[in-house]
Structure 1
Amino acid sequence: MSNLYDHAYELEKALRNSEEFQTLKKLHQEVEQDEVAKKLFASFRQLQIDLQQKQMMGQQLSEEEVEKAQQQLQLVQQHETIGNLLNAEQRLSQAISDINKIITNPLEEIYGSPEEQQ
């Protein structure tokens, strides 16, 4: 079993050294160094967290909350550095999602994919 953990740590190292992660890290540092971008990004993140928590508690989002979130997203996307950071986050997230699919293939061979179970 420890061999699996060794591979997991190798994967972590590969992720840290990947172009996707390095780009994300660089862009995050750029946002942190720009006071306006830092405050705008922090506000955006807090709104995301608040809305996610509400949804996880089974509460519906109001039209006003959805509209506010969309406006906030448009605002942060207009800021070049934050927009680049969000794009880098999305690329890294996609890579992690792809990796997750790859490593869960053995389980899907036994149990089938979630789509097949419906």
Structure 2
Amino acid sequence: MNIYDKAHELAAALKDSKEVTEITAAMKLVDADPESKQMLDNFRTRQAEVQQRMMSGDMPAQEEMEQMEKLFEVLSLNLNIRRLFDAEQKLSVIIQDVNKIITDSLQHLYGGEA
């Protein structure tokens, strides 16, 4: 068994999954509405900036984090953006579950049970 072949099989399964199909459909709806697309693009840009700063050790102020949370809530009022966020969350859960399955399978290497 070639691990890389299995990884490519998993990648293809994810690409063909219901969750990715839902993200694609939701993204098309957002893209069809210029105002929604602009709002989402602005949010994603700010989100990436905050995450980049956090990774470099520059923790944002509580006020800035609250602003991001409020912006997320406002965006979620847009049904198409909410649909996209919900679909992305479902895919994120799958990726986390797959990561846990892989990690758990290697616990015996570090003294854990597997």
On whether the aligned pair clears a TM of 0.5, the verdict is yes
Question: What corresponds to 2:47 in structure 1?
Answer: 48
In the alignment, what sits opposite 1:91?
90
- TM-score, with structure 1 as normaliser: 0.88
CA distance in 2, matches of 1:56, 1:112: 30
Cα drift, residue 61 of structure 1: 1.2
Please list the CA deviations of residues 56-83 of structure 1 after superposition, one character each: whole Å capped at 9, or x if unmatched: 1111211321121012111111111001
Deviation at residue 104 of structure 1 after TM alignment: 2.1
Deviation at 1:53, TM superposition (A): 1.1
The residue number in structure 2 matching 1:21 is: 20
Unaligned runs of 5+ in 1: 114-118
The alignment's TM-score, normalised by the length of structure 2, stands at 0.90
Aligned residues: 112
1:75 aligns to 2:81 (yes or no): no
Query: Aligned partners of 2:43, 2:84: CA distance in 1, in Å?
Result: 13
- Residue deviations 1:84-112 (CA, integer Å, cap 9, x gap): 10011000000011011112223212215
State the partner residue of 1:116: none
Quote the offset at 1:49 in angstroms. Answer: 0.5
**Structure 2: tracts of 5 or more residues without a match:** none
Higher deviation after alignment, 101-110 or 23-32: 101-110
The alpha-carbon deviation at position 4 of structure 1 amounts to 0.8
Task: State the identity as a percent.
Answer: 37
